[in-house]
Amino acid sequence: MKGPIAIAGAGPAGSLLAIYLARQGYGVTVYESRPDLRRAEIGAGRSINLALATRGIVPLVDVGVIDKVNEITIPMRGRMVHAVGDPTPALQPYGSHEHEVIHSVSRRDLNAILLDAAEATGRVTIEFERRLDAIDFDQSLLHFHDGTREPFGVVFGADGANSPIRESIIAKGACTFDDEALGHQYKELTVPAAGNGTYLLDPLALHIWPRGEFMLIALANPGGDFTVTLFAPTQTFDTLNSVDEIQSFFAEHFLEFAALVPDLETQFVENPTGKLATVRVSGWSYQDRAVLIGDAAHGIVPFHGQGMNAAMESVRELDRHLRASPDDLVTAFNAYETERKPNTDAIAEMALNNYVEMRAGVVDPAYLAKRTLALELQRRHPSHLSPRYNMVMFSTMPYAEAQDRATQQGEIIDAALADPSLDVDALISALPLLPKNDPLADPRALSTS
Ligand SMILES: Cc1cc2nc3c(=O)[nH]c(=O)nc-3n(C[C@H](O)[C@H](O)[C@H](O)COP(=O)(O)OP(=O)(O)OC[C@H]3O[C@@H](n4cnc5c(N)ncnc54)[C@H](O)[C@@H]3O)c2cc1C
């Protein structure tokens, strides 16, 4: 790779990529538009915590930071469903194995660990408050918002869903891009810790209040509080403008929840409302000069808890292709996109579908009957069937394969529920074998300590 090597963006993808490149021996400069999050205050209501799963854990094991990350995560063993009018929430476990849990983690603390690890390589310089505007490929210059310029040889665009690096690749005619708005938005709120610092809800589960067209979810933070997100159609948000409107909305749909948040209306008014979209990109690179990674290449809606996990898995894939073709970046970049894009397209679609499952399916008797049969069939045929959620969250099977398998399994389960005389065991045993237990099935067992 001909230097200088630059990365735009020090989010999860950019900071992780910096470590992987440093491990290959490269010197890298990361340009990040925001102040250093290890020192700056982050505004309330800006996606405070995330669900970390196997595809994100594996790269963290690779780069040797999993032990530090383990110290800041809270395991969530299933969905705690708060149905309308039911005072007792019900746990729907994610899986039947101990390691089939997802992990609530602070976005900021995880990112800070990656930034520290990148700097600790001695090969990575991170320049904060450097907003990139565009690339001049002909002059080999990166243009910054403040009018400054820096020379570059190769630039990695880890600059998120609104990527200016992608714009520069589009300007070269090498890339097409579609930004599909979901028509739903989100707002983050906080359930405070109880007076004695304990949790007001069970911290070891992902809480969902499904309400058909919209839902609330809550993930625990280590301090005893929960980050809660309301996902709802834009039209619903448009009706929530006054304190009265907010109060009656929560009183009508989320009464028990509202009782946990004394300053609910203030939080609702003060916290920003975020947009949701799927970013579809074809042409992730330009010659041997620039390549996109993470949300810049494949931004997805957050309903499968996979955006960051997918971004980190993509970094690992790109690292593999760079190692395979160190002297031929065009080949490496093209192979990376050819192999990866069908998988990121698959998770984009599964994430959209999972929204319906979360906001409506989890209390739908037909869905619950399917899920019960799927788990029973998994118990009877563990080598042939794994529920879609588990293949996505607890394996490194390519997303597109998980999607295909889930479709086949779903068809058999639907048929079996419609016709109980069907020999469902025979049909499931005829499915292709699942990949053999690889050591990554329980990546936390690979802890470096
Ligand atoms: C509400 C919500 C909940 C989510 N929950 C989950 C979850 O549970 N699990 C999960 O896996 N994912 C989740 N995600 C998705 C996850 O946040 C993203 O997929 C992930 O952050 C992508 O990482 P990235 O590094 O590609 O991009 P980003 O995190 O967007 O990082 C991009 C970085 O580039 C910087 N930057 C931007 N423009 C410039 C510029 N011009 N110059 C220099 N720097 C720039 C930004 O400041 C930022 O630091 C969620 C997203 C949302 C919105």
* Cα–Cα distance measured from residue 59 to residue 55, given in angstroms and rounded to the nearest whole number: 7
What DSSP character marks residue 3?
A: S
* Cα–Cα distance measured from residue 336 to residue 380, given in angstroms and rounded to the nearest whole number: 37
Whole-number Å distance, alpha carbon 315 to ligand 1 midpoint, is: 14
Q: What is the pLDDT of residue 441?
A: 53
443 lines ligand 1 (CB under 6 A): no
The phi, psi pair for 93, rounded to 5°, reads -60, 145
For the CA of 164, the closest atom of ligand 1 is 41
Show pLDDT as tens, one digit a residue, over the chain (449 residues): 888 999 999 999 999 999 999 999 999 999 999 999 999 776 554 558 999 999 999 999 999 999 999 999 999 999 999 999 888 999 999 887 778 899 999 999 999 999 999 999 999 999 999 999 999 999 999 999 999 999 999 999 999 999 999 999 999 998 999 999 999 999 999 999 998 889 999 999 999 999 999 999 999 999 999 999 999 999 999 999 999 999 999 999 999 999 999 999 999 999 999 999 999 999 999 999 999 999 999 999 999 999 999 999 999 999 999 999 999 999 999 999 999 999 999 999 999 999 988 888 888 999 999 989 998 999 999 999 999 999 999 999 999 999 999 999 999 999 999 999 999 999 999 999 998 755 445 555 554 43
User: Ligand 1: which of 17, 308, 358 to mutate, most ligand atoms within 8 Å of CB?
Assistant: 308
Query: Which residue is listed with tokens 């690292």?
Result: 319
Whole-number Å distance, alpha carbon 434 to ligand 1 midpoint, is: 32
Whole-number Å distance, alpha carbon 279 to ligand 1 midpoint, is: 12
* Cα–Cα distance measured from residue 76 to residue 104, given in angstroms and rounded to the nearest whole number: 7
Task: Compute the Cα dihedral for 303, 305, 308, 312 and give only its sign.
Answer: negative
305 lines ligand 1 (CB under 6 A): yes
Q: Give me the DSSP letters along 308-360.
A: HHHHHHHHHHHHHHHHHSTT-HHHHHHHHHHHHHHHHHHHHHHHHHHHHHHHT
Query: Which residue is listed with tokens 């869905």?
Result: 367
Structural domain boundaries in the chain: 5-69+107-176+277-355, 364-446
Q: Give me the DSSP letters along 194-232.
A: PTTS--SS-TTSEEEEE-SS-EEEEEE-TTS-EEEEEEE
For the CA of 14, the closest atom of ligand 1 is 25
143 lines ligand 1 (CB under 6 A): no
Structure-block tokens of residue 111: 């990112």
Structure-block tokens of residue 338: 């050819």
Question: Is there a contact between 140 and 153 (Cβ–Cβ < 8 Å)?
Answer: yes
For the CA of 188, the closest atom of ligand 1 is 1
54 lines ligand 1 (CB under 6 A): no
Q: What is the pLDDT of residue 3?
A: 85
Q: How are beta strands 78-81 and 206-210 bridged, if at all?
A: parallel
Whole-number Å distance, alpha carbon 240 to ligand 1 midpoint, is: 27
The phi, psi pair for 61, rounded to 5°, reads -65, -45
Whose Cα sits closest to atom 9 in ligand 1?
Answer: 305
* CB contact set of 321 (below 8 Å; sequence gap of 6+): 332, 333, 335, 336, 339
* Cα–Cα distance measured from residue 412 to residue 186, given in angstroms and rounded to the nearest whole number: 35
For the CA of 145, the closest atom of ligand 1 is 41
What DSSP character marks residue 49?
A: E
What DSSP character marks residue 432?
A: P
7 lines ligand 1 (CB under 6 A): no
Bridge-partner residues for 121, per DSSP? Answer: none
14 lines ligand 1 (CB under 6 A): yes
Whole-number Å distance, alpha carbon 393 to ligand 1 midpoint, is: 19
10 lines ligand 1 (CB under 6 A): yes
State yes or no: cis peptide before 4, omega within 30 of 0: yes
Q: How are beta strands 49-52 and 102-106 bridged, if at all?
A: antiparallel
- The 28-31 sheet, strands edge to edge: 124-127, 28-31, 5-8, 154-157, 290-292, 285-286
Query: Which residue is listed with tokens 């016709």?
Result: 419
For the CA of 15, the closest atom of ligand 1 is 25
* Cα–Cα distance measured from residue 289 to residue 284, given in angstroms and rounded to the nearest whole number: 11
313 lines ligand 1 (CB under 6 A): no
Question: Is there a contact between 396 and 441 (Cβ–Cβ < 8 Å)?
Answer: no
Torsion of CA 63, 67, 72, 76, to 10 degrees: 90
Query: Which residue is listed with tokens 């039911």?
Result: 86
Helical H segments across 24-102, by residue range? 54-62, 66-70
Q: What is the pLDDT of residue 168?
A: 97
* Cα–Cα distance measured from residue 217 to residue 300, given in angstroms and rounded to the nearest whole number: 18
Look at domain 5-69+107-176+277-355 and name its CATH class: alpha beta
Query: Which residue is listed with tokens 């159609």?
Result: 233
Q: What is the pLDDT of residue 447?
A: 47
Question: Is there a contact between 227 and 218 (Cβ–Cβ < 8 Å)?
Answer: yes
> Which of 16, 354, 301, 22 is closest to 181 using CA atoms?
301
* Cα–Cα distance measured from residue 435 to residue 162, given in angstroms and rounded to the nearest whole number: 36
